[in-house]
Amino acid sequence: MKIWNLLCAAALIFGLAACSDDKNEPDPAWGGGITVKSEVALAGATPQTLNIKASTTPTLTTDAAWLHIGEVKAGAAGIYSVELQANANTTPETRTATVSITAGADKASVKVSQLPGDAIEIKSVEPSTQLNPMGGSIVVNYLSTAEPELTLPAWITKAEPNGRAYEEGSLTLNYTRNAGQPREGEIVLSLGKGIQASVTVSQQAAEAQPISGKTAKELAAMMYAGINIGNTMECPGQEGAWSMPVNQEYVAALASMGFNAVRIPCAWDTHATDGIIDATWLARVDEVVGWVIGNGMFAMINTHWDGGWIEEACKEGYDEALNAKFASYWKQIAEQLNHYDQHLLFSALNEPNVAEGAEQNKGVEAIMKYEQTMVDAVRATGGNNADRVLVMSVPNTNIEIGAAGFFHMPVDAVPDRLMVEAHYYGPYQFNMMEEDASWGKVWWYWGADNHVAGSDRNSTWGEESYVYDQMQLMKTNFVDKGYPGMIGEYCVCVDRSSQSGVDKAKHQASLYDWNRVVTLEAKNAGCVPFFWETGGEINRRDGSLVKTRSYQLDGVFAGAAEGTYPF
């Protein structure tokens, strides 16, 4: 643009005709005393030199506050130059201004236009920026010159992007029930280079209404997304020996993130003497359960590994002495926690082990007897425990073993108060394997959209369709028969983002998609999802994120928003 102006100036100096393409030819209406462009188009905030031929030093004014006129500089042969500069055009439309030029008795005008730059504006939030404590959806209406990137708090998820460049658009966002303290979040739409628009929304806490008389399906349908306080209360003999003890701030943060159900794995045998659970330990578990329910969430406790005193013994077959201890422990637990309503669930076991091959059914039979004992012991304590929802683990918490046909649920005197639990950590090569072996390599990438061309680190099985099939086994064998399911543990156990040679973006997308798909398919099959977390994603001190972004948690909440229970 400046080169062209210089050429025009040179032509004027040597008395040549004006450059017609720049519209410098005189206009009869100007009185013939001023030669200047009739139109100028500015690009963004970049200055442009305007050359003027006049009989005397011209004076320039403009009718637009966004347009700035520089100092008039004299050149040879009556040629004057002046810089025009505009503020950035933050509107989505071209704007125009008029520059008026006076030189003695002569007058002229120049039309100045400026194309739109990148801009974005949030016009409204419907129905309000004050969100319903029980959860719901809002529509963010905006004006943008391009489709924006979206930044949201963890408890708000994108449902339906509709934005189009240079047009009005809208985003439908889903948000969760607020089971914790009043919270605020910022919705940010950005176009890069610091161009963004934001709006702050707030949500009051939903009151935790007492729950009673609900069936297992009705209760399951109320659970949006669950999480484990893993490696904490189940540490043999010492809370938090593998992580750190639970505190109130951490529990409240789980609710603020959008979780409304918490699985609390618990040790009991290493806190007992001569079959009597330490009263201080019972009170401590009671306290943590109270924090969870006090924040409006559901709580579930179980009999976790705890040295394997019963989990590992299951594969050896039924043992009457273990059964008596198991019954006694559950009686003590149930009596201690009987004051809680149906916000609290009991899960009989964690991952009861069975042998492979011909010995497997011996272990399955032992598990079924122990779980029947637990049901009978809890129900016998009466009160809130009379119709508390109880959860039974399938053998090895393995979906295929549970669905094989030999395992069956216990008999319960109260109808429709049982759920069934399995865990999901497949495929092993992507999820847990830490180094290559002779039989196969570690997989870095999972999901149809995340494979790296030519890589031998792509998952070759266990992807989207496999997850669907596994969850449908739960649905067919249990949910459709009246027992809602629970995926009590799932996560990607090894994050390989920083490993040498890994395509970081593809691996992180794999973490996101694995959790999204597992959560989504679990809910669609009628299974409540409980993400396994031990401090790698969420700081145990204050509930903040350990990393700048948790791709796993983002995937969990995306899947939770997409999934719909079939009941």
**How would you write the pLDDT of the chain (567 residues) with one tens digit per residue?**
333 333 333 333 333 333 333 334 444 444 458 999 888 888 777 888 999 999 999 999 999 999 999 999 998 888 999 999 999 887 778 899 999 999 999 999 999 988 777 778 898 999 899 988 877 889 898 877 678 889 999 788 887 444 333 346 788 887 876 766 688 899 999 987 778 889 999 988 776 678 999 999 999 999 999 999 999 999 999 999 999 999 999 999 999 999 999 999 999 999 999 999 999 999 999 999 999 999 999 999 999 999 999 999 999 999 999 999 999 999 999 999 999 999 999 999 999 999 999 999 999 999 999 999 999 999 999 999 999 999 999 999 999 999 999 999 999 999 999 999 999 999 999 999 999 999 999 999 999 999 999 999 999 999 999 999 999 999 999 999 999 999 999 999 999 999 999 999 999 999 999 999 999 999 999 999 999 999 999 999 999 999 999 999 999 999 999 999 999
Domain boundary among 172, 203, 234: 203
Count the domains in the chain.
Answer: 3
Assigned domain for 406 exists: yes
CA distances from 244 to 249, 293, 306, 535 (A): 13, 21, 17, 9
Domain boundary among 91, 114, 137: 114
CA 105 to chain centre: 68
Longest dimension (CA), the chain: 115
Shared domain for 180 and 243, answered yes or no, is: no
Residue 148: per-residue pLDDT: 87
Shared domain for 110 and 124, answered yes or no, is: no
CATH of the domain at 194: 2.60.40.10
Assigned domain for 252 exists: yes
CATH of the domain at 486: 3.20.20.80
Assigned domain for 50 exists: yes
Shared domain for 435 and 475, answered yes or no, is: yes
Q: What is the DSSP letter of 391?
A: E
Least Cα distance to 523 among 561, 489, 473, 466 occurs for: 561
Residue 24: per-residue pLDDT: 40
Assigned domain for 208 exists: no
The pTM is what?
0.70
Burial of 68 (0-12, 13-18, 19+ CB in 10 A): middle
Give me 409's structure tokens.
Answer: 């649920």
Q: Which domain holds residue 286?
A: 216-562
Assigned domain for 318 exists: yes
Shared domain for 110 and 166, answered yes or no, is: no
Per the CB < 8 A criterion, the answer to whether 92 and 105 are in contact is: no
3-state SS assignment for residue 384: helix
Shared domain for 361 and 253, answered yes or no, is: yes
Assigned domain for 340 exists: yes
Shared domain for 18 and 85, answered yes or no, is: yes
Kind and range of the H or E run holding 459? none
CA atoms within 13 A of residue 168's CA, in its CB half-sphere: 6
Shared domain for 345 and 304, answered yes or no, is: yes
Residue 145: per-residue pLDDT: 67
Task: Write out 550-563 in H/E/C secondary structure.
Answer: CHHHHHHHHHHHHC
Shared domain for 100 and 140, answered yes or no, is: no
Shared domain for 433 and 524, answered yes or no, is: yes
Task: Write out 173-235 in H/E/C secondary structure.
Answer: EEECCCCCCCEEEEEEEEEECCEEEEEEEEECCCCCCCCCCCCHHHHHHCCCCEEECCCCCCC
3-state SS assignment for residue 546: coil
Residue 249: per-residue pLDDT: 93
Domain boundary among 114, 142, 170: 114
Task: Give the dihedral sign, CA 434/439/444/449.
Answer: negative
Shared domain for 275 and 403, answered yes or no, is: yes
Assigned domain for 211 exists: no
Shared domain for 62 and 100, answered yes or no, is: yes
Residue 90: per-residue pLDDT: 76
Shared domain for 368 and 494, answered yes or no, is: yes
Assigned domain for 567 exists: no
**Residue 405 CB contacts under 8 Å (≥ 6 apart), including other chains:** none
169 phi and psi angles, rounded to 5 deg: -140, 175
Instruction: In whole angstroms, give the CA distance from residue 145 to residue 133.
Output: 34
